[in-house]
């Protein structure tokens, strides 16, 4: 399954699950829940961190953190 860091900016996906339980709690309370639509809005100039759009706002995270979020791409 793809993780969030595999997506290119603009490609839409739906969150499936998380691999880091601790981080998942933090992400979930900020609105990143399984079933939510998510996409990368932009990457930082050096390619890392990334800014994602989730439930109507912008959230930035490091690539290593995005790797813990599994997603299903929307074609």
Partner 1 sequence: MTLSQKIKVALVGNPNSGKTTLFNALTGLNQKVGNFPGITVDKKVGACQISQLASKNKVDTEFIDLPGTYSLYPKSVDESVTFQILCDSKNEHHPNVNIIIADASNLKRSLCLATQVIDLNTPCILALSMMDLITADGVEIDIDLLSDQLGILVVPINARKKIGIGNLKQAIIKVINDFEIPSCFVDIKNLAPELIGNIQNKLTLKSDYNAFQIACNYKTITGLSEKEKSHFEGLAKELKFNPKRSQATETVRRYKAIDKLIDACVKYPEFSKNNSLTQKLDNILTHPILGFGIFLAILFLIFQAVFSWSEYPMEIIDNAFAQLSQFVGNSLPQGALNSLIVDGIIAGLGGIVIFIPQIAFLFAFIAILEDTGYMSRVSFITDKLLRGFGLSGRSIIPLLSGAACAIPAVMSARTIPNWKERIITIMVVPLMSCAARLPVYTLLISMMIPADQKWLIFNLQGLTMMGFYLIGFVSAISIAWIMKYILKSKERGYFVMEMPTYKVPDWKTVGLTIFEKVKVFLIDAGKIIVAISIVLWVLSSYGPSDKFQEIEEKYQYSENAEVEIASEKLEASYAGIIGKSIEPVISPLGFDWRIGISLITSFAAREVFVGTMSTIYSVGDADNTKSIREKLMSHKNPNTGEAFFTPAVALSLMLFYAFAMQCMSTLAIVYRETNSWKWPIIQFIYMSLLAYLASFAAYQLLS
Beta carbon nearer to partner 1, 57 or 75: 57
From 26, 59, 55, 68, select the one nearest 41 (Cα to Cα): 59
Tally of CB atoms within 10 A around 39: 18
Residues 39-68, interacting with partner 1 (CB under 8 A): 41-42, 44-49, 51, 55-62, 65
70 near partner 1, rule: CB under 8 A: no
**Nearer to partner 1 (CB atom), residue 45 or residue 75:** 45
Min dist CB 67 to partner 1, Å, is 13
What is the C-alpha to C-alpha distance for residues 13 and 4, in angstroms, rounded to an integer? Answer: 8
């Amino acid at each position: 399954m793809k993780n969030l860091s595999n997506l290119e900016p603009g490609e839409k996906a739906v969150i499936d699950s998380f691999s880091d339980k601790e981080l998942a709690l933090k992400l979930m309370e900020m609105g990143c829940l399984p079933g939510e639509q998510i996409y990368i809005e932009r990457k930082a100039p050096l390619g890392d961190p990334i800014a994602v759009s989730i439930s109507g706002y912008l959230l930035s995270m490091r690539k290593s953190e995005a790797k813990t979020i599994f997603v299903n791409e929307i074609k």
